[in-house]
């Protein structure tokens, strides 16, 4: 039997997908021990995990890109969850990093705009999870800045204001939120969660993966495994099992 003919007998298999949209902390999430890779491993055979992390990006740029990533005709119906994870760059200090800095009120408005856009293509708020920026370990990040000839261009208190704004947007819009900034600082020294003061270490990736899964599990636990387990395939008549 020709493949084309066989393919015509079964309907096209479309994996549901989770879209991870964010900055470098998302872009790096498929590295070894990354939080995105951990999520993909949990959802294998059930769901594709799509990395749309863009290193260095802020919400001003992200809201322009989002309609080019998800439209009604390109997978919105099949998108079961979207994470929006920005703020580490938006919260950069204006005087020292004007290119990435986005004012606090605009940051909040941009997050709201992205949620509204997703709703306009039928991705409802219950499928959206906002993630706040993690806390900033200033002394470690200052070393990174100095190595590049720059001054310390972020501070943890400012990042916290952006995290609070992110939490408030989630409340106002009815989405879930993962407040990394607060959770990572709860009763502990958070420096071990960060590799360079800004980006996540192996421990930080593991922490984020666990926190995110606790929010996604209830949304995605009902998804079936796609295609039968190999022992359940009728080897005498595989078409009956697979098409």
101 catalytic residue (yes or no): no
120 is an active site residue? no
Lookup: tokens for 219: 């949304």
Catalytic residue among 126, 150, 196, 234: 196
For the question of residue 172 being annotated catalytic, the response is no
Cα gap 131→135, rounded to integer Å: 12
Catalytic residue, candidates 24, 113, 191, 195: 24
The whole-angstrom separation of Cα 230 and Cα 241 is 10
- Rounded Cα distance between 169 and 104, Å, is 12
Alpha helices in the chain (DSSP H): 3-9, 24-27, 35-42, 59-69, 104-120, 138-147, 156-173, 180-183, 202-220, 238-242
Q: What end-to-end distance do the CA atoms of the chain give, in Å?
A: 14
Quickly tell me which residue has 């079964």 as its tokens. Answer: 10
Catalytic: which of 38, 91, 101, 199? 199
- Name the one residue in this structure whose structure tokens are 């997703």: 118
* Per-residue DSSP letter, 92: S
Give the whole-angstrom CA distance, residue 124 versus residue 104.
25
What interhelical angle do 104-120 and 59-69 show, nearest 10? 10
Active-site residues, by number, are: 24, 196, 199
């Amino acid at each position: 039997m020709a493949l084309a003919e066989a393919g015509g007998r079964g309907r096209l298999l479309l994996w549901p997908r989770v879209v991870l949209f964010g900055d470098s902390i998302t872009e790096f999430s498929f590295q070894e021990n990354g939080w995105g890779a951990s999520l993909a491993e949990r959802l294998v055979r059930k769901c594709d995990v799509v990395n749309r992390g863009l290193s260095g990006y802020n919400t001003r740029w992200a809201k322009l890109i989002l309609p080019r990533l998800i439209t009604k005709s390109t997978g919105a119906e099949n998108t079961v969850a979207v994470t929006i994870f920005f703020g580490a760059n938006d919260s950069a200090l204006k005087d020292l990093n004007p290119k990435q800095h986005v004012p606090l009120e605009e940051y909040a408005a941009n997050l709201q705009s992205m949620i509204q856009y997703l709703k306009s293509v039928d991705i409802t708020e219950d499928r959206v999870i906002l993630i706040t920026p993690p806390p900033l370990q200033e002394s470690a990040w200052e070393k990174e800045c100095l190595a590049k000839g720059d001054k310390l261009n972020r501070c943890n208190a400012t990042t916290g204001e952006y995290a609070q704004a992110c939490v408030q947007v989630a409340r106002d819009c009815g989405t879930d939120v993962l407040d990394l900034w607060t959770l990572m600082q709860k009763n502990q020294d958070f420096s071990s969660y960060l590799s360079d003061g800004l980006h996540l270490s192996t421990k930080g990736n593991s922490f984020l993966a666990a926190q995110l899964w606790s929010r996604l599990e209830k949304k995605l636990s009902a998804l079936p495994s796609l295609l039968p387990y190999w022992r359940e395939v009728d080897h005498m008549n595989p078409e009956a099992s697979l098409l």
